Structure 1
Amino acid sequence: MAGERFDLEPSIQALLRDLGISPARVLRRAALPADLFSRRPIELSVPEYYRLWDALDAEGNAAAERNLAVDIGKAISVEFFSPPIFAALCGPNLTAAVQRLSAYKPLIGPVRLEVDTADALTITYGWPSGPKPPALLATTELIFWVALARIATREQVRPARVTMPNPPADPTAVENYLGTRLRKARTYSITFAAADAGRSFLTENEQMWHVFAPELRRRLADLQASATVADRVRAALTETLPAGNASINAVTNQLATSARTLQRQLSQEGTSYQAILASTRENLARHYLTNGDLRTSEIAFLLGYDDTNSFYRAFKSWTGTTPDGLRASALAGA
């Protein structure tokens, strides 16, 4: 993730009120400042963001039997949308909306969207390394796309496929809202048929998009500028490693700096290029091993290793186990 803090829209108070949930109780349960919602901007770190959603889940389900993710989907309206989401709503169809929002999603949450438009429209979620995202947050993210499509087209759009690592014990409410079954998989994803992805948005407004776009680009640039040098190196490595290039020169070319300057800046932050390279490789290796069916040799290539044996030795030094051992443990846990 490029930045460490994410904006929370002030309209969340209105949403909470519509859901019958006390904003003050949510903040207290999440151990967040009582005046948080009155601040401008409202910014949260990843742990704070997760605590807020955990608290919302606990408060929302404390008083009555309900499915809060579905209730949020039903309560969503244009007045609750942040500028990036409203800009997406101005697009011609769902595919354009997803592509726009995937670029600006870092402004409003600790998540990365992978978009595949080959045969259909598939949106796959990538979360920061560390604790898993709250189930309510992840489920609401999937429901959001259905709500957006229905608001924009005024049609009862249904996804073709929805996956999550741990579907709820009773998925009835979520499945009834989505109009499709939940499938267990290693990632949170949602797929729309090409016809629904290309269905015209009645809310299309290119003039409004041109109003939003410059400010969104500025905010995204500010967010990226506020990232540490180490953050920027990790982001660059995520792009250069799959091409088989783990060299510092590949990163410096992307960041428009020199190797000497980069090493000095990293040293000032208490780290080094080699340390970031190793941690990035480890995180990506864990992701590939537990979220896909790639062969070990393919993973080694995607991490910029010349041969599989080098990857095996490095992985053993990071984790104390082998790639095959980690994958077997992950499958046993699942």
Structure 2
Amino acid sequence: MKSHATDRIKIPPGFWEGLRQLGIAPHDVARKARLPLTVITEPAVTTAQYFAIWQAYSDLIGDTAEGVIQLVTAFETAKYPPTVLATYHARDYRDALNRMARYKQLCPPESLLIAEEGENCTIELEWLDSDQSGPPLLVGITLACVLELGRRGTGQPLTARLVEFTQSMGDVQALEAYFGCPVRIGAVRNRLTMKRADLDRPFVSYNEELLDILTPALDRSLDEQRQRSRSIADTVKWIVKRSLTGGCPDIQAVAKELGMSDRTLQRRLTDENTSFKHLLTQARHEQAREYLADPSLDIKEVAFLIGYEDQNSFYRAFRLWEGATPSNWRTEHLGIR
């Protein structure tokens, strides 16, 4: 089971066309990635497949920096997917960056954090799953696309102030020539620092009429995605309730069912201001009330059904929850569900 509708990633057709322009056959990429050739025409791929495709391109091109620069400059604006078109036709660079960060939610597996402070604006790349980082070339492409967007939108040869990468990126001098600034390798984070004043630059590609068409459609898709995606806390509680009769489930078992590591699950729950322990307690409490309202179940059986090995442990827990013993609570609430 997956907790998000966005676990499958769309690859725009322009990606494969860009590879062809660089003299790289898409089927060679698929073979290098050890994926079926049908992946070229698939509407969406898994995160693992997505990373494998980018790593295969990196291996075929030879140098990470060269692969970043060649593809980001070869990708034609006309091939941009709607989520990127909405940024390219924004009012100014700031509007474009904010739209990019917003609509990245429709395009996992990365997110962009934008911060303006003093004379600088930083754009930091974060992976939605901190335990599954993408290949260095994908990191470079993502940050290069941020700058390329500004250059194409404003029609000006914008440069960055600093680019930071956590991993080796190949020919650093080539990257410094492209970004127009120092490039730092072995940094704590993957981040692009821009001149804040550049964010005020208007886009020559601004198209209000097109934005009036794209924006409502993209916002609607984002809202629908959020509605489809049950919160991770609700999903965890549902799994726990379903698993209680087999004993007390642990976070590792639940994380495995969700297709993520226990560290990632802990982080996601923290983001929703809760914890696995709290959700386990809630699940047991809610199930206890439901089972006790059924007079056909004796209390020992209720204790077993919510994952307690002995009746005394259940009694102690229930008194903390309700201020009464299970027997007294049942007497008072019998027949009320």
Cα distance, 1:97 vs. partner? 0.9
> Cα distance 1:280–1:109, how it changes in 2: closer, same or farther (>3 A)?
closer
Cα distance, 1:303 vs. partner? 7.8
Q: Secondary structure at the match of 1:158?
A: coil
* TM-score normalised by the chain length of structure 1: 0.68
Partner letter of residue 141 of structure 1?
Answer: T
Query: Given the alignment of the two structures, is residue 112 of structure 1 paired with residue 111 of structure 2, yes or no?
Result: yes
Q: Secondary structure at the match of 2:68?
A: helix
Once the two structures are superposed, residues 262-309 of structure 1 have per-residue CA deviations (whole angstroms, 9 ceiling, x without a partner) of 734653489789977x74585489xxxxxxxxxxxxxx9x9889xxxx
Note the 1:30-45 alignment, pairs <5 A. 30-39=33-42, 42-45=43-46
* TM-score normalised by the chain length of structure 2: 0.67
Question: Which whole-Å CA distance do the structure 2 matches of 1:281 and 1:44 have between them?
Answer: 22
Verify the 8 A CA contact 1:263 1:272 in the aligned structure 2.
no
Q: Secondary structure at the match of 1:121?
A: strand
Task: Report the counterpart of residue 126 of structure 1 in structure 2.
Answer: 126
Aligned residue pairs total: 258
Once the two structures are superposed, residues 187-235 of structure 1 have per-residue CA deviations (whole angstroms, 9 ceiling, x without a partner) of 11111112212111101112211201122123323433454x4xx226x
Query: Given the alignment of the two structures, is residue 87 of structure 1 paired with residue 101 of structure 2, yes or no?
Result: no
Question: Which whole-Å CA distance do the structure 1 matches of 2:105 and 2:243 have between them?
Answer: 23
Question: Which whole-Å CA distance do the structure 2 matches of 1:173 and 1:161 have between them?
Answer: 14
Task: Report the counterpart of residue 172 of structure 2 in structure 1.
Answer: 171
Question: Which whole-Å CA distance do the structure 1 matches of 2:7 and 2:64 have between them?
Answer: 35
Q: Which residues of structure 1 form unaligned runs of 5+?
A: 235-251, 253-260, 286-299, 306-334
Verify the 8 A CA contact 2:164 2:184 in the aligned structure 1.
yes
Verify the 8 A CA contact 1:129 1:283 in the aligned structure 2.
no
Cα distance, 1:125 vs. partner? 0.8
Note the 1:50-61 alignment, pairs <5 A. 50-61=51-62
Task: Report the counterpart of residue 17 of structure 1 in structure 2.
Answer: 20
Task: Report the counterpart of residue 233 of structure 1 in structure 2.
Answer: 232
Instruction: Give the root-mean-square deviation of aligned CA atoms.
Output: 3.3
Verify the 8 A CA contact 1:15 1:80 in the aligned structure 2.
no
Q: Which residues of structure 2 form unaligned runs of 5+?
A: 256-261, 276-337
Query: Given the alignment of the two structures, is residue 151 of structure 1 paired with residue 125 of structure 2, yes or no?
Result: no
> Cα distance 1:33–1:219, how it changes in 2: closer, same or farther (>3 A)?
farther
Verify the 8 A CA contact 1:167 1:183 in the aligned structure 2.
no
Task: Report the counterpart of residue 209 of structure 2 in structure 1.
Answer: 207
Q: Quick one: percent identity of the two aligned structures?
A: 23
Cα distance, 1:158 vs. partner? 0.2
Verify the 8 A CA contact 1:6 1:106 in the aligned structure 2.
no
Larger radius of gyration: 2
Verify the 8 A CA contact 2:64 2:137 in the aligned structure 1.
no
Verify the 8 A CA contact 2:19 2:25 in the aligned structure 1.
yes
> Cα distance 1:262–1:167, how it changes in 2: closer, same or farther (>3 A)?
closer
Task: Report the counterpart of residue 217 of structure 1 in structure 2.
Answer: 219
Question: Which whole-Å CA distance do the structure 1 matches of 2:40 and 2:265 have between them?
Answer: 38
Partner letter of residue 212 of structure 2?
Answer: H
Question: Which whole-Å CA distance do the structure 2 matches of 1:143 and 1:52 have between them?
Answer: 18
